[in-house]
Structures are given as structure tokens and as C-alpha cells.
Structure 1
């Protein structure tokens, strides 16, 4: 019999169920990642980058033969947070599903694109000598594994060639074994999993989406820079560019290695500020944080994709950025998280969502991908028109 007093407690789902949650639990879990997993803060600086505010854009789009507006999009696409920046000016900012301005929402795999941006910073610093360096040069623990033949470039382009199963509905898949290790907070558990995977293709020859690759990349960044990933993100971008709130990386275990590829927590406007950092060319206070041409290379189609084969509808993949058919760079995360960065149009769109996942998605008859493209195109049209 328990002797604990019946004090108020907040329930959160088990970490191992994070990718398998019903729509009833998604929003609660995505707002409370730091209660489900071990985390490390990404510290903000003393001053936030000031975002201006202008008239809200009146967005209308058409799907299914019907005209719809902003509220329709939020409701139909299960949107928790929506932000549109035209340069450094907010043109739209909305919250739903319990999300508030100061709350950190799970990045899901959007953090892959942000973590990979730190590879550019490490190259600029000289901490990483070349994208063609072998992974094992920085992570000796992966020598004599499938990653021994893999380069940094292979990691950031999802072409390591290892045999990885990213099936979210299969509890025995690599990605769910990874998720269980995080939930159980096993020290060294994820790296042991990465050592166990076998090589399937020649590194660099084929694109295969692999959350484990970005875990390896985060560990490599920590080893190369001699700093925690959270501290390096803070010192290079987060505190210096002027993010408004502390963020966090999820850890593999208490006090352990950051997870570079999933489950970070950030506030809506700070996702937008990261996109603005890219619109500024990776320059902060006159200092170039990223190498010349880094953003052009990161946003190029290293691999050309069939849009029907990925949840976003991207037709290419660059340096851990999905490429929109219109050429924009997009960070994409599970259940509908997107950070859309259109450098040509000077526009950033952040969407934080709770899109239903299998098996629950089968009863949801809205084509969210088409809805999102129609809304995005309508936003760009209104901005081009000066609306």
C-alpha cells in the first residue's frame, strides 16, 4: 500500500508511446515533452530579437470546391500554432489546442534541420574539418560498425546506407526501439542501437530517412566541438540572434547526450526567429555564422524525391531540409510540424499541429497535405499582392 500523500499530480503518457498516441493525447503530450523525457535547456540571451507587427493578412483558399479561411485551416488541419513572418514582421499569429505564447511545443523532426545547421557553424569554426570526414573520426565508439564507412555529408543528407526501419506503427521498428530507450532513459542505449544496425547500401548512394542518423550527427557535433549540443546551439544562434524563450533538447538519459533529431521543445515565435536567422543569411551582428554558400547548398536538391512518398509532399532533400516544389526549405516533423523558409519571397511560415496518425488517421477524411499547400500558396499570394 502506498504511503505517499494524495497530492495533485499531472499525468503524461509513457515516453515509449510518444509516436503512437491517439488524438485525445497528442496535444497534451506535445506541450509536455519535458515532463516525459530528460532534457537540457538551450539558453536565450538577454534581449529578444524584436519582431514588428503589421496588419493581419486575410487568407482565403479553396479545397473541395469550397472557399475557406484561416479559422477553417486551423480547425481542419488540427493546428495548435500558426505564425507567418514577412521578413521581421508578424502578419499572422494564432494559438489553439492549449498552446500558449510561452509554452514549448515538440519540434518532432523539425529539429533535424536546426541541428544540421550547427554543422555549418562547426565547419565555420574549424571544429569539423570537412563534410567528407568519416563519422568514426569524431566518434571512435562507432568504429567497426556500419557507420565506419559513413561521412558527415552522408549523415546530413540521410544517405548513410544503413538498414533502418522508420515505421512508427511497428513497436519493434528501429525508431520505436529508439523511442523506448529514450522513454526508459537508458544511458548509451541509442548509441548501442546505432552500433547494431547493418549496412544495406553504399553510403551516399540512396536517400533513406533515418532518425538515428541525426542522433549520430548530434553526438558527432558534441565530440567535435567539445560542448553539449544545447550549449553550442545557445552560443552560436539561440542567445546571439535573440530568441525570446529558453528552449530544450531532449536527452537520451538524465545528464546524457542530446537527441539531435527529434523532440526538442521551442516556442512558436522562436521557431519563426530561427527561420528569420536563415532569411538573414546566417549572419548575426555582422558576423557570418555559417560558411559561404551553406544555405544555397543546404536548400538544394541533393536527392530528388517523388512528392507522393513523403508526408510533406517535398520533391527534394538537401542538408536535412526538405525542399518544397516551389524551392523553399522546409523543416518537417511528425504529426504536421513544419518550418517553411522561403528565402526568395522573404517569408517564414511555422505550423505546429496534432495531425492524427495511424490507426486513428483512417477515420479522418481531410487531405491535410492538399489543405496545407493551398493555405501556403494563398499566404504567398496575399503577400505578393501587398495584402
Structure 2
């Protein structure tokens, strides 16, 4: 029996373990998502939107009776990438845990907010007629399921009413069955899972976080526009606004549907540029590519939420955006990924992290949520003082 030669090979964790990784493997996996899952490129354009390197800020914050600085925050909150923009000016940029300027880091669920923005683009284009349209109108694969009574608006506000289990520690939960299907690259596997989910509440009446719903939203966008999600993102925002690097959506299977709600890969500064695109009210050149008042609606508290029940301490939820207590829009993802967009103050803060997860988090005695709020307030204070 012949054997292959012992060539050097790189180990990557199994895709089905992506939400259950130990701190030892988190940073490696989060910057190598394209080695774990099938992907499709979001192509950049010929020119990058220029960001100006302005005077660096040095925010200091207090937690308990201790005072900390930027390096402390990076160390204590397990930060891999940190970016602060004031308009188009870079006021702070840091890297750690193996992340580099050109590397793409996993968005986790931050991509939900970016994908939801494309719904507004599709409305403006006329590809989606109304947010009140039934999901199954655009997705024949879900006809005859509980999604017949769910509207696009219900999807985008996490109020589909589905009896979905988002418990990351339960291997049999919906979200981990979804994750296993993606890791196994099963064609049509996620939509088959979504067809099996039953209704729990009347659609549009209650908020319940549901990663599967944003997969459905991405599939709906592809069906409505007749384009892959990656190509639509590229042609409408990524290339036109001037992102610096190619990004990627992960796919459910080789050559299959993009995952609209998790684990896309993007470089730190391009997360920041997306925030800047929103600060500029979605205007590219002289044209706004979102409907009038879209961002006001997307950033409104459509549902009130308990800040203790989410990782970013939000007290509201809009169009797949968390709403910070100060009224800012926040795209948030598993293990500490955040894109904070303060349109009133013209400020964007991006944080890419590796926060330990259960059961490993039990031995980590830092309140990272309190840390994030204290650091955010220090950044805002530093920028106000600097003028």
C-alpha cells in the first residue's frame, strides 16, 4: 500500500468548532477564516478612499479605582485591531494578536449590519418593492414554511417570531447546527434548517436574536437582485466608495450562497471606511445610494433591549444595528467585534477582538463590557478636548 510523502501542512480548526474555540486558537482562526470555510471575494475598486493620518490621541479611562491607557485596553480586552476615525482622519490605529494591516479578520455578526444596509440599496434600486413584502415572495425555497407570514421588515429587525435557539454552548442548538452545516459545506443545508424552524410569536411583535434570519436575508437579497451578495456589495459600496482591500463573504458551500449574517473577512481600515460611508449619509460622489431617512430608521430603537443581554451593552435594536445608550449605531459580533458609528459626533471606532468564551471565560475576571464603555467614553472625551 503506497503512502503519500510527509509534506508540511497547516492545521486549521474544524468549521463546526468555530464558536467553541479556546483562547489558544481564536486569534489564529479569526484571521484565517478563508482557510476554514468556502468564500467569495468582495472586490475593491481601482482607488482607495484616502484616510488622513492626524494627531494621535491617547485616551485614558478608569475602571474601579485603576486608571488605564490604550495599551492596557488592548491587553485587558484581548484586542487584535483598534481604529478610531474622526471623519476621514485616523486618530488611533493599533494591531496585535497576529493581525496586520492587510489581513482580513472575521467580522462575526458585524456583517449582519453591513448586509442589512444592502436591503436599503435594493429598495432604492427597486429590486425589493417594500419592506412589508413576504420573505417567501423573494425566496421560493421557503414557501410553505413558517416564513410565509414573515416580512422583510421582520427579518431585518430580528422579529421573525421563529423559535430559534442561539445558544453557542449547546452543540445541538440551531446556531451550532447552522455552524456545522457551514463547516461541512452542505449545499442548501442552511435553508433546509430554516424550513424546519417553527413559529413561536406573531412576526413583528417581539425581538429575538436569530443568526439564521440574516442568512435568509442575504439569500433574499441575492434572489431579488439577481446577483451574488459579494458582487452586489462590491458594485454598490465596496468598490465605489473606495475600500483599500478585497474582502470576502463566507459561503454555505463551495460556489454556494453567501452567509449574510456571520464570519465575513475584512481589513481593519475597511471596517472603518464602511463606518465613514455611513457618516457621509451613504453619499458616493454626489449620489446617495440609500433611501431618504434610511439611516435614521436603521439607527432608531425599533425594539428596546436589555443591555445585560447583549455583548455590546446596547439598549435598542434597529435594522440589524444595535443601538448604543448614547444613540449611536453599533455593529457587534461574537467575541468582541464592534463597529461603533456616532453620526452626531462624526466618529467611528472599530474594535476587533478575541474575548474568551465559555467555558474558558469563567477564569477571566475582567468585565470587558464595562471596559469597552469606559474606553469609548475616554475616546470621545479625548476627541472633544483635541477639537
TM range (shorter): over 0.9
CA RMSD of aligned residues (A): 0.7
Residues in 1 aligned to 2:344 and 2:78: alpha-carbon distance in whole angstroms: 28
Q: Give the drift of 1:128.
A: 0.2
Residues in 1 aligned to 2:233 and 2:9: alpha-carbon distance in whole angstroms: 33
Query: Which whole-Å deviations, capped at 9, do the CAs of 1:349-376 have from their partners, x for residues lacking one?
Result: 0000000000000000000000000000
Whether 1:25 and 2:25 are equivalent positions in the alignment is yes
User: 1:3-152, aligned counterparts within 5 Å?
Assistant: 3-152=3-152
2:185 matched residue in structure 1 = 185
User: Any unmatched runs of 5+ in structure 1?
Assistant: none
Query: Which whole-Å deviations, capped at 9, do the CAs of 1:316-361 have from their partners, x for residues lacking one?
Result: 0000000000000000000000000000000000000000000000
Residues in 2 aligned to 1:319 and 1:346: alpha-carbon distance in whole angstroms: 20
Q: Give the drift of 1:4.
A: 2.1
Query: Which whole-Å deviations, capped at 9, do the CAs of 1:239-284 have from their partners, x for residues lacking one?
Result: 0000000000000000000000000000000000000000000110
Whether 1:372 and 2:357 are equivalent positions in the alignment is no
2:260 matched residue in structure 1 = 260
Q: Which moved more, 1:360-369 or 1:305-314?
A: 305-314
Query: Which whole-Å deviations, capped at 9, do the CAs of 1:146-201 have from their partners, x for residues lacking one?
Result: 11100000000000001000000000000000000000000000000000000000
Q: Which moved more, 1:237-246 or 1:303-312?
A: 303-312
1:236 matched residue in structure 2 = 236
User: Any unmatched runs of 5+ in structure 2?
Assistant: none
1:218 matched residue in structure 2 = 218
SS in 2 for 1:100: coil
Residues in 1 aligned to 2:257 and 2:272: alpha-carbon distance in whole angstroms: 26
User: 1:231-310, aligned counterparts within 5 Å?
Assistant: 231-310=231-310
SS in 1 for 2:217: helix
Residues in 2 aligned to 1:221 and 1:30: alpha-carbon distance in whole angstroms: 26
Residues in 2 aligned to 1:30 and 1:264: alpha-carbon distance in whole angstroms: 10
Query: Which whole-Å deviations, capped at 9, do the CAs of 1:71-109 have from their partners, x for residues lacking one?
Result: 000000000000000000000000000000000000000
SS in 1 for 2:386: coil
TM-score (norm 2): 0.99
User: 1:199-218, aligned counterparts within 5 Å?
Assistant: 199-218=199-218
Query: Which whole-Å deviations, capped at 9, do the CAs of 1:5-41 have from their partners, x for residues lacking one?
Result: 2222111100000000000000000000000000000
Query: Which whole-Å deviations, capped at 9, do the CAs of 1:208-242 have from their partners, x for residues lacking one?
Result: 00000000000000000000000000000000000
1:315 matched residue in structure 2 = 315
Count of aligned residue pairs for this structure pair: 387
SS in 2 for 1:118: helix
SS in 1 for 2:243: coil
Residues in 2 aligned to 1:173 and 1:319: alpha-carbon distance in whole angstroms: 25
1:153 matched residue in structure 2 = 153
SS in 2 for 1:216: helix
Q: Give the drift of 1:2.
A: 6.7
